[in-house]
Amino acid sequence: MVALYELVLYDGLTCMNARDSRSDAIISDNMVNKAPMSPFNVEEFRQSAHQMVEFLADYYRDIESYPVRSQVEPGYLYKQIPDTAPESPETLDEVFSDVKSKILPGITHWLSPQFHAYYPASFSTAGYLGEMLCGGLNVNGFSWIASPAATELEVIVVEWLGKLLNLPKEFLSSGGGGGIIEGTACEAVFVCILAARKRFVDKYTAEGLLEGEVHSKLVAYTSDQTHSCVAKACKMAGVQGDNLRILPTDASTDFALSPAVLLQAIENDIAAGFIPFFVCGTVGTTSSSAVDPLHAIGDLAKSFGMWFHIDAAYAGSACICPEFRPFLDGVEKADSFCLNPHKWLLINFDSSCLWVKDPKALESALSTDPEYLKNKHSDEKNVIDFRNLQLPLSRRFRAVKLWMVMRMYGASGLRTHIRNGVRMAKHFESLVKANRHFEIVTPRNFALVCFRVKPQANDPDNGKTINQKLMDTINANGTVFFTHTVMGGVYTLRMAIGATMTQPIHVTDTWAIITTEANRLLGLDSEMCFNSDSGAEMCSSSDNESVDSDCESTPVLNLSDSEEQPLGAGALAAAMRPLVALSASNSFQERTECIAVA
């Protein structure tokens, strides 16, 4: 059968039909009897996109009516969605209906003001608008020529952020360094390890070693608190066997890497014929927000010629505030520095900024030069082609999100957002400290509070069971979501405060939920509301007011309901709070009464 193709006008759309040349029958007739296949139509886009915005606005408004952590069981969706794709097009309304009934139950609501797990996902109106623009323009700016604005805006905004962080000029493009927006901190550290490896392979092969020999001798150093992204990057980079030295930390350094331990490990390795090539320090570890001693690590890195990477994925954002900037002291001794604006800077996922002093080191490890990408400007080397500083070829226009957020909130708004998160965390910490049944496990540096129910004397598992039960019960009822870690063998609860919609009242609510449940688990008198040594100041309304008044009111995290705040969610969130509370094991009314007793 020979197919002839013909263009037909159908419902105002040009469509292509296939006809059998002999019988004249239409072979491919999906345009005739059904809705025309129309991947893009401006008016349909306008209408559908409005529908999507309406849907999302309702979702944000009602977010507290959903259980924060999804309550479904594994495999729930496989039973509800067909196992083959539909043959015929379906409508947006049909899809929305499934989103509501089938997808939302399986969503863990990262934007909920009661999401305190892991590190929260950052979010804002400007961040979302930036994400819309990024997706809407859908450019692929792998080379300058592929979309000059994408490349140049990225250079500009990463420079803006570098200046806000007061990074040494060597990291700025104006000072010979450079920044790039990667998708995640994992990708950022991986490209740095590849650059470091290349530097060492070049050096030692020039001295006569074989490449494989160099690879087998390269050793990297992290602490046992370093994010697993470094271990993964080492695996991918072929850092062989146990040539990643994961150095122990303990409570004596608040779980920061000890320079003495690092030095000892380096000396042992050199004595055994290894080549130390890479060390990672962290500002704000994942478990507890510990901060490694950057100056001391930087000095050791310099003495032994290693690449020094700083992972500040979470806490780096805080360092735009002068009071937190000292945590970055020593960054001047690093080769690379990374922070994730999508963790705390009101940027929607994904956005991970990486600064390097020597962008050519990345290029040397990663660049390729296929014919089909050649162009005058790249050949003349008068532009940056970001594809040569990252793993994939393709890249999103992520800079536009950062640009919009920085413009629409300003540095002052971003600082206020950080400070509000920290103030709420401080308040939560003070509530924990004031309660004789709880304790702080490690000092709070930013907006993460590590705490636990104190173990009873002679508790065989040192408090693990009660703390785990406490967390599991609360997370299972969906009112709030927080997670745990283990440090130095101590099972520790983590309250990561700073989600965009979180208000002081959510923090006091969470504390009431935690103490009420702990009270129940310990068999204490619930009427006492788990009060503190000093009486019952734990969750009183005056506490609540004092946090409120302590927080600056800003266009970014307005505690009043105004159209200028990131989501306009303040009053709405407060209005929705009772809905959430009713789904808790203890009703909202019970908890309010409990608060009143306190």
One-letter amino acid for residue 225 of the chain: Q
Closest CA to 158 of 325, 458, 403, 394: 403
Q: Determine the Cα angle at 315 with ends 312 and 317, to 5°.
A: 95
Residue positions counted in the chain:
598
CB of 514 to ligand PLP, least distance (A): 23
CB of 287 to ligand PLP, least distance (A): 9
Among 64, 159, 311, 543, binds ligand PLP (CB under 6 A): 311
Q: Is 422 in the site for ligand PLP (CB under 6 A)?
A: no
CB of 399 to ligand PLP, least distance (A): 17
CB of 257 to ligand PLP, least distance (A): 13
Among 186, 196, 246, 404, binds ligand PLP (CB under 6 A): 186
CB of 218 to ligand PLP, least distance (A): 22
Asked whether 270 and 263 are in contact (CB, 8 A), the reply is no
Residue nearest ligand PLP, CB atom distance:
184
Of 119 and 307, the one with the shorter C-beta distance to ligand PLP is 119
CB of 284 to ligand PLP, least distance (A): 6
Q: Segment contacting ligand PLP (CB under 6 A): 181-189, 254-262, 293-301, 527-535?
A: 181-189
CA–CA separation, 575 vs 592, rounded Å? Answer: 15
> Binding string to ligand PLP for residues 210 to 239, with x set by CB under 6 A, is what?
-----------------x-x----------
Sign of the dihedral defined by the CA atoms of residues 466, 285, 423, 57, in that order: negative
One-letter amino acid for residue 344 of the chain: W
Helices (H), 138-226: 148-164, 185-206, 211-217
Among 286, 390, 475, 500, binds ligand PLP (CB under 6 A): 286
Q: What token pair was written down for 177? A: 């360094």
Q: Is 31 in the site for ligand PLP (CB under 6 A)?
A: no
> Binding string to ligand PLP for residues 139 to 178, with x set by CB under 6 A, is what?
----------------------------------------
Q: Is 180 helix (H, G, I), strand (E, B) or coil?
A: strand
Q: Is 353 helix (H, G, I), strand (E, B) or coil?
A: strand
Q: Segment contacting ligand PLP (CB under 6 A): 74-82, 141-149, 278-286, 407-415?
A: 278-286
Q: Is 184 in the site for ligand PLP (CB under 6 A)?
A: yes
Q: Segment contacting ligand PLP (CB under 6 A): 159-167, 216-224, 280-288, 407-415?
A: 280-288
Asked whether 266 and 294 are in contact (CB, 8 A), the reply is no
CB of 203 to ligand PLP, least distance (A): 28
> Binding string to ligand PLP for residues 390 to 419, with x set by CB under 6 A, is what?
------------------------------
CB of 188 to ligand PLP, least distance (A): 8
CB of 350 to ligand PLP, least distance (A): 7
CA–CA separation, 163 vs 340, rounded Å? Answer: 16
> Binding string to ligand PLP for residues 328 to 367, with x set by CB under 6 A, is what?
------------x-----------x---------------
Torsion of CA 144, 149, 154, 159, to 10 degrees: 110
> Binding string to ligand PLP for residues 249 to 268, with x set by CB under 6 A, is what?
--------------------
Q: Segment contacting ligand PLP (CB under 6 A): 57-65, 290-298, 306-314, 547-555?
A: 306-314
Can the peptide bond before residue 461 be classed as cis, meaning omega within 30 degrees of 0?
no
CB of 118 to ligand PLP, least distance (A): 6
CA–CA separation, 342 vs 319, rounded Å? Answer: 15
Q: Segment contacting ligand PLP (CB under 6 A): 40-48, 184-192, 481-489, 501-509?
A: 184-192
Of 280 and 557, the one with the shorter C-beta distance to ligand PLP is 280
| Contacts of the segment 167-174: beta carbons below 8 A, 24+ positions apart | 167/328, 167/331, 167/337, 167/355, 168/331, 168/332, 170/332, 170/357, 171/331, 171/337, 171/355, 171/356, 171/357, 172/355
CA–CA separation, 506 vs 534, rounded Å? Answer: 23
Q: Segment contacting ligand PLP (CB under 6 A): 61-69, 309-317, 417-425, 587-595?
A: 309-317
Backbone angles phi, psi at 466, to 5 degrees: -65, -40
**Residues in a beta bridge with 276:** 219
Of 65 and 184, the one with the shorter C-beta distance to ligand PLP is 184
- Helices then strands, counting H and E runs in the chain, come out as 18, 14
CA–CA separation, 111 vs 131, rounded Å? Answer: 15
Asked whether 283 and 294 are in contact (CB, 8 A), the reply is yes
**Residues in a beta bridge with 302:** none
Q: Determine the Cα angle at 272 with ends 269 and 273, to 5°.
A: 90
Residues in 82-121 at the binding interface with ligand PLP, rule: CB under 6 A: 119
**Residue numbers at the binding site for ligand PLP (CB under 6 A):** 119, 184-186, 227, 229, 282, 284-286, 311, 313-314, 340, 352
